[in-house]
Chain A
């Protein structure tokens, strides 16, 4: 049974449609939610948390409706918001254990879990100091700690590597991966940085303009297609047309023709087409189909994959 189900979930603001009839099921896994800024990622997370009400459609977590069973669901959900969310005059220990209690943990358990979780995110003696003096990296760790202190079953992370330096990013991503594997939580990581998402997720949901581009195991995103880039001095459009007439999925981008391929067949066809048209061939290059291409296609108005 899916952990999260979305059924024609729609959120409209005056003049903007943030989510457009999103229908989707998410199974327990580390799920990457990718899309450019403004694609609707944060909106989706906020609807799941009950922070925003959807305009129409339905969303359930653990098979409970997020609009009516919010307080029950949220005992088992953790959230790391994109923005700063820490009171500077409070220590990490006091803050995280308070947040654990607000999630329903008894006081003693909240204290105990806080100490444990802060150690897991790598905060030691600093945890008794007021958070106003923390570095961005430390603040981000506290935000993660408050999100997992009540041992949620579902963890929603909104841009968890925001503002971190490269080393900090690596550590945060490692932590995210651990929460999914070792801690046994289902994690939804929203990010506009595909490179990061690729490193930690097993499942990928790509949205753009509030619409679902694609949802699949990460493996199928990368293995399924390759792209053959054929660079010619001129006549790229003719070559693309010739290849399409031979049954290939080809399109011209500037002086390059991109050919989708799943087997070796296109190589011969490209060679023949180039010879027939007598075009000056400069380069023939196999590109790994990268996630960015999904978005390039979406922006140029073509259906994704």
Chain B
């Protein structure tokens, strides 16, 4: 929507005060608080107004930035970047080790024996991703409630549901970046250190659907759950604790149930437990054996876990939208 002033002329026929104000440049400086000795006067904005789609994009981009502490001083960057570093270091070390071993000619053997591979990486960083969600989702959502910013957002070119969706998408994107960076380090590290780069790329490319598929499920599931918890828990400390509990308590419960012999109940819980679900989808994407004992024992096809994950993501988004439709602003 460009030039709204003119094409909306009949809708808001104000005109007069604007015309009167145009070109007026009083020399007064309000507040006289600084060193300004001249004042250009107020200028009206005549440029484009991009409306709701732009507002949604801007909010999404800002959420991604908030999750990494960008634009909020050095301290806010500490937690996300330290976690990201911890998640990436094993990948860098593994890639370095491959490169060395390849030079002495033991490449194929080293790759198969290495504990750091595309299909095992989710298990390696699971705890770090959980911590990242627990610390950063409350930043993205709780901040607006703590500092009463919702009334400013909702009184702009956004709908309440837009706000909820843009924030969720931003959190999910931040998690996506978090899990993709180490995977891509391995990917490019292996490809570029190979003797035959093209052949290695062809071999590695088979992992790409798995890498991206698992990252998407992970981002949606953990992002959705931690966003819902954060939306209902403005206080950061409580939100962080609550996210950790929600993301891990079901695992503990299902383990206990199995040990007690209540297998069918454990199976149901496995379908609700994010850790087990992700273990199952990881096995599905990479065609490997699931790490989770519960998934292994539950007599269900792995696709069922993927379906359950999708349902949970959809439910989280629904709850989130509903929460922001009703929250007082």
Contact = CB atoms under 8 A, between A and B. Distances in A.
A117 to B, nearest CB: 9
B155 A77 contact: yes
A178 B14 contact: no
A271 interface: no
Contacts of B127: none
Interface string B134-157: 000000000100011101111111
Pick from B20, B24, B54 the residue with the most CB of A within 10 Å.
B54
A48 to B, nearest CB: 9
Contacts of B31: 121-122, 171, 175
A185 B15 CA distance: 10
B105 interface: no
A130 B71 CA distance: 10
Contacts of A84: 147-148
A87 B55 CA distance: 19
A62 B148 contact: no
B interface secondary structure, majority: loop
Contact of A63 (B11, B147, B155): B11
Contacts of B36: 119, 124
Contacts of A174: 30
Contact of A51 (B26, B52, B147, B151): B151
A174 B71 CA distance: 32
A106 B47 CA distance: 9
A121 B30 contact: yes
Contact of B157 (A79, A102, A116): A102
Interface string A245-270: 00000000000000000000000000
Contacts of A146: 152
B72 A89 contact: yes
B205 to A, nearest CB: 36
Contacts of A88: 147
Pick from A70, A77, A116 the residue with the most CB of B within 10 Å.
A70
A109 B46 CA distance: 10
A28 B17 contact: yes
Interface string B28-69: 011101111000011111011111101100110010000000
B58 A98 contact: yes
Interface in B113-166: 143, 147-149, 151-159
B14 A3 contact: yes
Contact of B147 (A46, A87, A116, A171): A87
B16 interface: yes
B24 A182 contact: yes
Given A28-B16, A151-B45, A74 B157 contact: yes
B157 A85 contact: no
B21 interface: yes
A71 interface: yes
A113 B45 CA distance: 8
Interface in A33-76: 46, 49-51, 62-64, 70-72, 74-76
Contacts of B35: 124
B78 interface: no
A99 interface: yes
B72 A101 contact: no
B34 A75 contact: no
A71 B52 contact: yes
